[in-house]
Structure 1
Amino acid sequence: MRARKGRRVTADVVPLNRTREPSLDPIMALVATDMNRVNQVILDRMQSEIPLIPELAGYLIAGGGKRMRPMLTLACAALLDYQGSRHHKLAAAVEFIHTATLLHDDVVDGSGLRRGKRTANVIWGNPASVLVGDFLFSRSFELMVEDGSLRVLKILSSASAVIAEGEVNQLSAQRRIETDEQTYLDIISAKTAALFAAACRIAGVVAEREPDVEQALDAYGRNLGIAFQLVDDAIDYLSDGKTMGKDTGDDFRDGKVTLPVILANARGDEAERKFWRDAMHGRRVSDEDLDYATGLLRSTGAIDDTLARARHYGQRAIDALGSFPANRAKAALIEAVDFAVARAY
């Protein structure tokens, strides 16, 4: 593609790991035995005498997610050579928090597809989805209390509050094309990265490590979470429903002002900025409008630069592990970063 005057078209961004295609296989193999125990906790604790609760919760939990957040708890525990079992219930608590937020998010967004399947709110309705999400939040706090650590309770409860703040902030910014990059980063740091950070940090607590170890794990998870969301927001415009597990252009049609849009709008001429204003306000949402938007994102370098930022935060996540000795767990955690970034390719 020929660059227009004043435009910069960058080279394709490559994953951090250039020797082979990154995968979650190493981290999945590392935590496989522990993950079986976590899954049993999840299965046990989502039960209820009210049949709709396990039916709806089970539908989403079994919906094909990789369970990345609880896997991070387990892998960070392995990194610290933790030999106990507390991390099983806490990893389940992390997954319940995540699942509850998904249920609530789909209601707020009016989503119809997640991980390639119809969303729970489409099948059972918004009220049931919200209430079962509340049930799962309650189960997560039961598991935290059973663990008995006020430190763990503080980390995970604070993360839950921050996630909610991030979602409200995102709702406030919806359809506001004047949203700036810092506001966007604040939103994704809260709604996505906070749980990644907490999931990693609690491993340091159960392993009874020093505060600097907790902080390093927090930094790893937080930067990984930011990179993960940056990639998600880029490939919302690039991938199909089969790959993403949701409809292409959902963010565009919902008026979500993500980083690719922020960058393209800032670099556009007057006509293009008018297009973005109209699009974010719901006046330009056809398939042809989406195609035009995607073209602008490419020609302005907005997609490439969003992915470059993802690589930057991914490298920061890897750097946060620098003080830990090389072992199987560290290698798996590093490859998880490579995988998160490489999903765009």
Structure 2
Amino acid sequence: MISKTNETIALPVKGMSCASCSARIEKKVGELDGVYLAKVNFAAEMATVEFDPEKISAEQFPEEIKKLGFEVPSVHETFPIEGMTCASCVSRVEKKLSSLPGVSDVKVNLATEQASIEYLPALIGFNGLKEALSNAGYHLRPAKSEEGLPSDEENRHLKELVTLKLKLIFSGFASILVMVLSMKGEGIALPLSLNLMLFLLATPVQFYCGGQFYRGAINGIRHGYADMNTLIAVGTSAAYLYSTVATFLSSWIRIADEKVEVYFDTSVMIIALVLLGRWMESSAKRSASNAIKKLMQLQPRTATVERQGEEIEISIAELIEGDRVWVRPGEQIPVDGKIFEGNSSI
């Protein structure tokens, strides 16, 4: 009796040349333990398998088909990723994606904030990839088309850069005021007490300008890791909270008649300096990303190949290993390869 928990998977199969090829695949896959039905449509180049996931994994089917000498083509797409801040984020994203069923290759670029993923759509789709990264604290966005330049992704980066710049200007200005008042404030006539003035200046810096560090730290704690955001949030919060207590409840920590010091200048200066570094990093990443995109646009989109004795022009995505590519004088070289005949200057 067939279990109600059975699943059905459809896999594209390339390389079949006759009906006996499809029969061989049906026989091989159908003999696997846990497989109830295996049908291969030669014309559509599609294999449909009904199986019990408790007995066999869907990942085994592409492997068994490849052992017979056929190909189960995978999809190679590039997805933008939000939330990466350092090299350890790249490592975590690659490790998480590589562990997913159907994913055969992952390369993550921190500079462009993109992940190049090779996967089998029959085993995992965009939603599965997105959910896995969301659980790790990152956000995967849909793959953008080749033609999509300039895109919404570019507008998002520009918006983030503008927001970061505004926070940097605000925190920098507030930091200067806090530093001046901390050093010279006792000799200046102020409408409020010195500590209260420092508190009012430091609070928006701590929670508006530094809010991204708290979000990053909370996200990391939820998913079981600590990063630079955690360090900044803990360090600045310690200085800010102690200074807040010293401002409003100084009697709790005063020893004898000693003056209670506050450290609002420490918290705001740390946030301002880190934001300066983040802004410089984002500007550099954007420049690097634009340079990479311009280089990619230089690659020709088509290539002239020799197949069955004829020269035909095809998309470079259709090139396969072993193709002979003709490059005439003045043309760009579409792919890497070996020179078989002819000579020219590059």
Quickly name the TM-score band, shorter chain normalised.
under 0.3
More helix by share: 1
Normalised to the residue count of structure 2, the TM-score between the two structures is 0.24
Q: Give 1 or 2 for the bigger CA radius of gyration.
A: 2
TM-score (norm 1): 0.24
> Which structure is richer in relative contact order (CA contacts within 8 A, separation 6 or more)?
1
Which structure: greater strand fraction?
2
